[in-house]
Each structure stands twice: as structure tokens, then as C-alpha cells.
Amino acid sequence: MQHQRFVAHISWDSEAGMFFGIIPGVSFAYAYARTEDELKTELKDVLRWTIENLGQKELALLRFHEKIQLPD
């Protein structure tokens, strides 16, 4: 399987006291977590689920970038 890399935008939500992250170009790929490490794990899980459940046509529409790499 070819590795694909995605950009994740992570920010601190001071009102909620949590980190918030999104993966642009991937519908519904967002998460909240108390720590940045937990957020990265959550985003990887969301992305993995999305890739496993999309068809080939939908996968071709995702925009790939050069930041986060999912392990096999």
C-alpha cells in the first residue's frame, strides 16, 4: 500500500480547554482532545476509518499533502 500524507491543522480552544484539529479536504475529519498527543491519535483514527470506508472514486478526490503519515 502506498503511503499518503495529510495536513492536520491543530489549535487550542481556550474556552473548552482542549485541542481541536481538522484535516482539510477530508469531510468530517476533526476531533477534540485534552492533549496534543491524544488529538493526533484521534485524527489518525478518524482518517484511517475514512480511508477504510470510502470507495475508490471518493478516495481519488481527497487532497494529499506532506505532514502526517499513517502507519500500516
User: For residue 58, is it within any domain?
Assistant: yes
The one-digit pLDDT tens for each residue of the chain (72 residues) are 456 678 899 999 999 999 999 998 787 889 999 999 999 999 999 988 887 877 666 666 665 544 445 554
User: For residue 12, is it within any domain?
Assistant: yes
The CATH number for 62's domain is 3.30.160
Supply the pLDDT for residue 12: 93
- Residue 40 in contact with residue 26, Cβ under 8 Å? no
Residue 51 three-state SS: helix
Q: Any bridge partners for residue 20, and if so which?
A: 11, 32
Residue 30 three-state SS: strand
Please tell me the total count of domains within the chain: 1
C-beta neighbour count of 59 within 10 angstroms: 11
